[in-house]
Structure 1
């Protein structure tokens, strides 16, 4: 049966990219987000080819198994078409695309996924990420090397380990079937949204109860307000609900919406010299599909970066401790250049240091015992000695003692 629900799709170039390499599709039963990569032209072509190939699946399927097989076949055909395209247009070598696709079959959702675009389910006020990113940092998270929060800002967060591209004729696609129910809200999006807006804000927008189109506009605005460094594509699918049911032709957004999107001009050769070396275009996506043997190199580089970070922190800590040590040493040396006259148990004593301490550590020590008995001092002198008398030098302290001896009549 034809899916009963409402939906909307929207795509935006973002604030940094000069072109939109994303594609999105919103039909009667089929919903797709594809994030292309491979340069200014290659990404457009790859995501467009994926959506155009999947477009034929936008009809009612009799069983979920049939829909799942159709998704797998269509994506395998897309990979073959990408390979054939590069044979004709070698300047597009290296192009590829992520794909997150959803086919509704009765009360079930049939899902196909490869790459780092995402599919979420919002049900009963809770947002759940259904797909798993096929990225380097996700492997680090899965292995316990980093936390999900650290993955959001990891320098390798855009490195894809699996992608639908022109190198693999038999791509590994994740497919699964999930029951769905009235009131469910499905979100398909490129990493231009999920990389900028966290799950809490996404859930808040989805939970407002707005129609899919208004909800998609709100999420896009949040991504743009957050800088939108990449293309942003959003598809929202409501199962049943209060909003008008889907009707009319499918909605195609992004590069796939342009009929001539695949007939891109040949890339112009770049001139380079030792003064002006060729550089990667600023709008090219940073993610790519590394070779399998490159994974260990990436992991080792991540370990080296972690070691350097720990050494930097340790070095900074040592420098701070050294600075504190120098200050304490200089301060202690200054205290030992000072003197005062005070009392011990029964005599007048000249002390080196100051009349203070740091916890149990005294900053003074006896320098000379004068031999003057405290009992021989007049009351006013005894009080002064017990309260200590500061001196600028040892000679000054000895002069104070001599004065005590004369005035007190001591020997």
Structure 2
């Protein structure tokens, strides 16, 4: 059964690079993205070779096993072509390419993948990354040493651990089969898209329900709006659904679409580009496949970076603690410049500090017990003391206490009953002998 659906393939140089090292293919049964690496020309050649070797696979297959075997064989043949190309043309040494491919067989998708291009599946309003990046930073993510968000901006994010290249005649592809269903949308893309447009924005573009061509244009625009520092290649495939059935010839985009082959410029002495550092960086390889000893150095460098990050985090925490401690000390010191008059058991007391407490921490201490009894105060003064009376200073507090003492003394005198006067002689009854 030939796969039926609608698909599109587009590729753009981006806003920084001077040439397109990506290639893409969209046919009836076969869909491929290849992101070349290896300098100004090597990446063009590598991705083109990969597409040329896989193009004959765009045909019906009787089983998923046959499709898997054909895909692995084509990748191995492409690796041999890269080795021969580098041998025949020394200026291409170090060329390579990522490869992410889908062969549709009945209701199954046969997937082959190597490198850091990606395959996503949009199904039931959810976007899932199907392939795993074969990169140094992905290994760090898998080991729990960095987060996926840190990986997006890691300085070694383009270091590839596995790639189709002139260094390995037997490439190790991730190969697996997935069941498809009507309404599925498959996205194959180079890291020129996934490195700029995050999954949340890709999902939002998918949820619009537009045809593959318009969706791909939307995603490309987002990558360009984000600066597009690398080539951007997008292949979108719909399984069934409302869009027109794909028909006609296959679509080839990027470097592989050049009918006259890839031009390899002669090696020239480097020119000073200090006025245009971005343009200079644009002509350097977008990916790098390191030697084992280099990877060991990268791992050691990452350990040092992680240690510096931990030390920086600890230092930051200590600084925050110190700032909080200083702020707490300053606030406490300020409270000790305040005074108030309150009650302690049955007497009037001058306190230093403020009336509020912070949990179990008391922000006031007794300074002087005035020996003025609450019971001796007039009712209105007693109520004021029990609510506490704020004072601007210790002398102000003493003045308030003097007024309270006067009020207490007056209240005591007022409440003291007057003594009964002694009887006088004139008050004695008259009497005598009869």
Shift of 1:78: 2.0
Aligned to 1:15: 15
Unaligned ranges ≥5, structure 2: 411-434
Instruction: Give CA deviations for 1:55-79 in whole Å, capped at 9, x if unaligned.
Output: 3333445554444333223222222
Shift of 1:210: 4.6
Partners in 1 of 2:184 and 2:337 — Cα distance? 80
> Are the structure 2 counterparts of residues 366 and 106 from structure 1 closer, same or farther at C-alpha, using a change threshold of 3 Å?
closer
| Alignment of 1:213 onto 2:213 | yes
Instruction: Give CA deviations for 1:3-46 in whole Å, capped at 9, x if unaligned.
Output: 54443211112233332211012234432210112222222222
> Are the structure 2 counterparts of residues 126 and 407 from structure 1 closer, same or farther at C-alpha, using a change threshold of 3 Å?
closer
Shift of 1:100: 1.3
Q: TM-score, normalised by structure 1?
A: 0.80
Partners in 2 of 1:226 and 1:277 — Cα distance? 19
Aligned to 2:160: 160
Partners in 2 of 1:322 and 1:65 — Cα distance? 65
- 8 Å Cα contact 1:28-1:250 kept in structure 2: yes
Partners in 2 of 1:178 and 1:391 — Cα distance? 79
> Which range is displaced more, 379-388 or 48-57?
379-388
Shift of 1:106: 4.9
> Which range is displaced more, 244-253 or 167-176?
244-253
Partners in 2 of 1:408 and 1:108 — Cα distance? 98
- 8 Å Cα contact 1:44-1:261 kept in structure 2: no
Partners in 2 of 1:314 and 1:164 — Cα distance? 42
Aligned to 2:270: 270
Aligned to 1:254: 254
Aligned to 2:194: 194
Shift of 1:255: 1.2
Partners in 2 of 1:240 and 1:349 — Cα distance? 87
Partners in 1 of 2:205 and 2:381 — Cα distance? 82
Secondary structure of 1:281's aligned partner: helix
- 8 Å Cα contact 2:38-2:94 kept in structure 1: yes
Shift of 1:237: 3.1
> Which range is displaced more, 136-145 or 398-407?
398-407
Secondary structure of 1:366's aligned partner: strand
Aligned to 1:33: 33
Partners in 2 of 1:73 and 1:146 — Cα distance? 36
> Are the structure 2 counterparts of residues 408 and 291 from structure 1 closer, same or farther at C-alpha, using a change threshold of 3 Å?
same
Partners in 2 of 1:372 and 1:6 — Cα distance? 95
Partners in 2 of 1:388 and 1:109 — Cα distance? 80
Shift of 1:114: 0.8
Instruction: Give CA deviations for 1:92-145 in whole Å, capped at 9, x if unaligned.
Output: 333221011233445544332211112334456554433322123333343344
- 8 Å Cα contact 1:202-1:219 kept in structure 2: yes
- 8 Å Cα contact 1:83-1:167 kept in structure 2: yes
Partners in 2 of 1:11 and 1:76 — Cα distance? 25
> Are the structure 2 counterparts of residues 38 and 337 from structure 1 closer, same or farther at C-alpha, using a change threshold of 3 Å?
same
Aligned to 2:175: 175
Shift of 1:370: 4.3
Aligned to 2:418: none
Shift of 1:163: 0.7
Shift of 1:372: 5.0
Aligned to 1:117: 117
The 5 A counterparts of 1:142-161 are 142-146=142-146, 148=148, 151-161=151-161
> Which range is displaced more, 18-27 or 332-341?
332-341
Shift of 1:315: 2.5
Instruction: Give CA deviations for 1:273-319 in whole Å, capped at 9, x if unaligned.
Output: 99x99996235354322334544544454444444334333323322
- 8 Å Cα contact 2:137-2:157 kept in structure 1: yes
Partners in 2 of 1:127 and 1:204 — Cα distance? 10
- Quote the RMSD (CA, aligned, Å): 4.0
Aligned to 1:131: 131
Instruction: Give CA deviations for 1:157-208 in whole Å, capped at 9, x if unaligned.
Output: 3332111122222221223344556654433221222334444554554566
> Are the structure 2 counterparts of residues 280 and 171 from structure 1 closer, same or farther at C-alpha, using a change threshold of 3 Å?
farther
| Alignment of 1:80 onto 2:80 | yes
Partners in 1 of 2:247 and 2:284 — Cα distance? 36
Shift of 1:400: 6.0
> Which range is displaced more, 333-342 or 44-53?
333-342
- 8 Å Cα contact 2:12-2:254 kept in structure 1: yes
